[in-house]
């Protein structure tokens, strides 16, 4: 399939307090390959997805500041007692965001790890909840919108980790690697291309744990090209 190209810009909207909630009761710790494989073989659950994501990325996690989201968290009344400025004394929590990327066919959510007054991560985390069967073209279109959404919201990520959830809770993992050329960055209309790979979760776990050679792992490979309105100078 030829790369999908979307030239129209996304109208990003920052979430309201009613569109965010914490997924509590999840212990973030690295899982063994056998534990990861067990979760990957089960029907989709949010805690399975983010525990796998943590186990894959914990060595590369870094703190960064997003004052807008910290202020948003303060506006969630039942979570105000859990908010603290300490990084070392508080656990990692998962904030789930209902994005404005939705239609009768799908709903996209973003997930962010929060630790004290910092965000913690190394790639953007999203889920696509499909309401019906989807085509390759629709998958690429939604992936393109997520790329735009992530960059328009000034996330510092060039990689995305996306759960594709089917109506019966079967699921797949989609990895998106963005290419952002410093020579083509502009104040607006910056071009972005991305390589998209879709994996069966159990196959993905065997790959990241070293059981399978990445060159031998079957996956669906797609490409996309799009533009974003905001400056991408912070990626230099």
Q: How confident is the model at residue 116 (pLDDT cuts 50, 70, 90)?
A: confident
Q: Is residue 28 predicted with pLDDT exceeding 60?
A: yes
Mean pLDDT, residues 1-7 taken together: 78
pLDDT in the model for residue 77: 62
Whole-angstrom distance, CA of residue 170 vs CA of residue 228: 32
How does pLDDT run across 29-39, given as a tens digit for each residue?
Answer: 999 999 999 99
Q: How confident is the model at residue 78 (pLDDT cuts 50, 70, 90)?
A: low
In total, how many domains does the chain have? 1
How does pLDDT run across 155-189, given as a tens digit for each residue?
Answer: 889 999 999 999 999 999 999 999 887 665 666 66
The percent of residues in the chain predicted with pLDDT above 70, rounded, is 89
How does pLDDT run across 187-204, given as a tens digit for each residue?
Answer: 666 788 999 999 999 999
Burial class (CB within 10 angstroms; exposed 0-12, middle 13-18, buried 19+) of 82? middle
Q: How confident is the model at residue 104 (pLDDT cuts 50, 70, 90)?
A: very high
> Taking the complete model, does pTM exceed 0.95, yes or no?
no
Mean pLDDT, residues 65-75 taken together: 87
DSSP character string of the chain: -PPEEE-SPP---PPPGGGEEEE-S----PPPHHHHHHHHTSPP-HHHHHHHHHHHHGGG-EEE--HHHHHHHHT-GGGGGG--S-SSSS--EEEEEEEEEEETTEEEEEEEEEETTEEEEEEEEEEEEESS---HHHHHHHHHHHHHHHHHTT---SEEEEEEE-TTS-EEEEEEEEE--TTS--SS-EEEEEEEEEE-HHHHHHHHTTSS-GGG---EEEEEEEEESS--GGG-
Mean pLDDT, residues 57-69 taken together: 90
List the domain range (segments joined by +) for residue 156.
4-235
How does pLDDT run across 124-142, given as a tens digit for each residue?
Answer: 999 999 999 899 999 999 9
Mean pLDDT, residues 144-154 taken together: 92
Q: How confident is the model at residue 1 (pLDDT cuts 50, 70, 90)?
A: low
């Amino acid at each position: 399939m030829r790369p999908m190209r979307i030239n129209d810009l996304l109208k990003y909207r920052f979430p309201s307090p009613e569109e965010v909630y914490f997924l509590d009761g999840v212990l973030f710790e690295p899982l063994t390959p056998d534990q990861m494989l067990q979760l990957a073989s089960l029907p989709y659950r949010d805690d399975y997805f983010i525990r796998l994501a943590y186990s894959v990325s914990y060595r590369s996690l870094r703190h960064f500041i997003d004052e807008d989201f910290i202020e948003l968290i303060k506006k969630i009344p039942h979570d105000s007692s859990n908010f603290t400025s300490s990084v070392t004394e508080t656990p990692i929590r998962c904030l789930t965001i209902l994005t404005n990327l939705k239609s009768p066919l799908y709903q996209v959510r973003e997930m962010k790890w929060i630790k004290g007054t910092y965000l913690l991560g190394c790639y953007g985390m999203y889920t696509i909840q499909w309401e019906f069967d989807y085509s390759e073209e629709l998958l690429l279109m939604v992936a393109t919108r997520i790329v735009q959404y992530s960059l328009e919201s000034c996330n510092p990520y060039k990689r995305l980790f996306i759960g594709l959830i089917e109506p019966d809770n079967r699921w797949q993992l989609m990895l998106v690697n963005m290419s952002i050329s410093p020579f083509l960055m502009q104040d607006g209309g910056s071009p972005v291309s991305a390589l998209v790979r879709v994996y069966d979760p159990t196959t993905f776990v065997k790959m990241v744990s070293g059981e399978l050679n990445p060159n031998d792992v079957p996956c669906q490979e797609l490409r996309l090209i799009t533009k974003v309105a905001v400056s991408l100078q912070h990626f230099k």
